[in-house]
A and B are shown apart, each in its own frame.
Chain A
Amino acid sequence: MLDSYGTEAQERVGFFTDTSVCIGCKACEVACKEWNLVPEDGLVWTGESYDNTSELGANTWRHVAFVEQNEPLHGDREVDALRWLMSSDVCKHCTHAACLDVCPTGSLFRTEFGTVVVQEDICNGCGYCVPACPFGVIDKRHLPRRDAPALPLITKQEDGRVWKCTLCYDRLKGGHEPACAKACPTESIQFGPLDDLRERADERLAKLQAEDWNGARLYGRDPDDGVGGFGAFFLLLDEPEVYGLPPDPVVTTRDLPGMYRSAAIAAGAVVLGVVAAFVGGSR
């Protein structure tokens, strides 16, 4: 994947978010906003447990989900139990990233660390990556732009570009770990080389299963899944959709050869249709 970087290629890094130790402090959300200068975009009370962030988007690159359930945390030891699931969601930095594939300008690119990043000086806000992402991570920023418009006649006043987690590309370049992982007080967010993280996750899952934790599973660890494995994967305590995550995400461009084949045949059919319209006279 990183062949094009030659000697500059680095080991692929990512996140392992172990939600079994997440305490919902949202330090990751704050650290991310602070470090990356992600703007404030409205303060609302949702009434959805302690979650007033709601979803990832252009101005939210870490989002802590809160789920209240009448389920025991361990096996079936307790009756009438309540458990509180918390999970810090983030861009998955897919091995096969749809956003990157469909980006028509080359603004989205694969870094030397194997992460997926938007070049904000290239993005022209076409918006194609937004519905392409199977996780609904990337989005367009509608806040007022900060720089002076280049061409006043056709320029818009809003930012208009897409934004998402960069896995703190600047911090990685400087040899630091991403801000969210640095700020996490329980090591729920673990940063490191992806291979190490996968090993660590396997060990952690085995331990939780031995302790009879209810519903423990890894999400996005498998390199053979629909997106080739996540660069940022998770240990969850229930099905992915409970956290607002798709159960079996697939990179849309996997089907592209077949799509182009259909388009080519359809184009041929248009030509044939036009020719057929002239059968029986061209006037």
Chain B
Amino acid sequence: MSSYYGRPVLKEPVWQPEIPAYFFTGGLAGASSVLSLAARIGGNETLARRSLYLGALADLVSPALLISDLGRPERFLNMLRVFKVTSPMSVGSWILFVSGSATSTAALLEWAGRLKPVKYAAELVSSAVGAPLSVYTGTLVADTAIPVWHEARHELPFLFGASAAASAGAAAAIAVPVAEAAPARRLALGGALVENVIMLAMEKRLGFVGEPYREGEAGKYAKAAKACTLGGAALLATLGRKSRLAAAAGGGLVLAGEAALRWSVFKAGFQSARDPKYTVKPQRDRHR
């Protein structure tokens, strides 16, 4: 394959570590809102309340991370200047705006114990945008020219969604007494399992283009993610059912694993852009 002095065809992303950190907090916020409402309906008030608080906290941190990453943070409001369906970042900014407003309103009213109908309405809105919030970042990175992201466009939202669900479950399993945290533990376990299956299937389907997920820094973090999520989930499913300490350790491991997963996918994009072979070869193959 020829190249121009081995130089990349594409530009590497200019995003800073705030962005993968946001993938994690945004996912946690979105899935926690859904978990909170489900617990509310199921009659588990402790789980509902604490998941709501966790979601609100993650929803508060998320925009701060995003604004900090901007080249011109003082212009962050320009994100709400237009609504563009062709830009997953525009759609996502609006989702985050609605989610942040609704979740923090609901959490404040929950804490103050006032205006129940308004709180319920806010919770409904918060959980309605929660699921989109937890998956759209996968679509956001897929909607680029980076081969390892674009070619994974159908898997990434599922991968990020499963990771978000596992995060919400793990966080709640830490925050809620073991006697009331069974659904949270099941969610963490299920999310972690599904996520690892998706990752395997994705790498298998992508073949050559998917190499960056296994190599370099991305590969190291992917391995760490696998070990942490599966180990943490196993701990939650066994000792975590009896001991709060074991639940905290298991939940912490799962959360660390999910953060590592986002970092791995993020770095894979850089590695994919850096080597022109990932850009040129697939194009050359389909062009002949």
How many Å lie between the Cα of A161 and that of B287 in the bound state? Answer: 34
Question: What 1/0 mask marks residues of chain A from 243 to 278 whose CB sits below 8 Å from any chain B CB?
Answer: 111111100110110111011011111110111111
In the assembled complex, the CB of A281 is this many whole angstroms from the nearest CB of chain B, namely 6
Question: What 1/0 mask marks residues of chain A from 45 to 65 whose CB sits below 8 Å from any chain B CB?
Answer: 010100000110100000001
B139 is contacted by which of A246, A263, A277, A278 (Cβ under 8 Å)? A263
Given known A123-B72, A124-B70, A276-B190, contact A248–B287 (CB-CB < 8 A): yes
Total cross-chain contacts (CB, 8 A): 270
Residues of A within 8 A of B165 (CB): 270, 273-274
Q: Count contacts on B: residues with CB < 8 A to the other chain.
A: 91
Residues of B within 8 A of A155 (CB): 72-74
Given known A131-B144, A245-B9, A252-B150, contact A277–B86 (CB-CB < 8 A): no
Within 8 Å of chain B (Cβ to Cβ): is A223? no
Within 8 Å of chain A (Cβ to Cβ): is B199? no
* Interface residue stretch chosen among B39-47, B109-117, B223-231, B243-251: B39-47
* Interface residue stretch chosen among B202-210, B257-265, B273-281: B273-281
Within 8 Å of chain B (Cβ to Cβ): is A79? no
Residues of B within 8 A of A128 (CB): 87, 89, 140, 144
Can you offer 15 A-B residue contacts whose CB atoms are under 8 A?
Answer: A103-B87, A122-B75, A123-B75, A124-B79, A128-B140, A131-B10, A140-B71, A241-B4, A244-B4, A247-B283, A248-B286, A252-B144, A263-B135, A267-B131, A269-B161
Binding site for A on B (CB under 8 A): 1-5, 7-15, 30-31, 34-35, 38-39, 42-44, 47, 67-76, 78-79, 81-82, 84, 86-90, 93, 130-132, 134-136, 138-140, 142-146, 149-150, 153-154, 157-158, 160-162, 164-165, 168-169, 179-180, 182-184, 186-187, 190-191, 194, 269, 273, 276, 279-280, 283-284, 286-287
Binding site for B on A (CB under 8 A): 46, 48, 54-55, 57, 65, 67, 98, 101-107, 122-128, 130-140, 149-151, 154-156, 158-162, 238-239, 241-249, 252-253, 255-256, 258-260, 262-263, 265-271, 273-278, 280-283
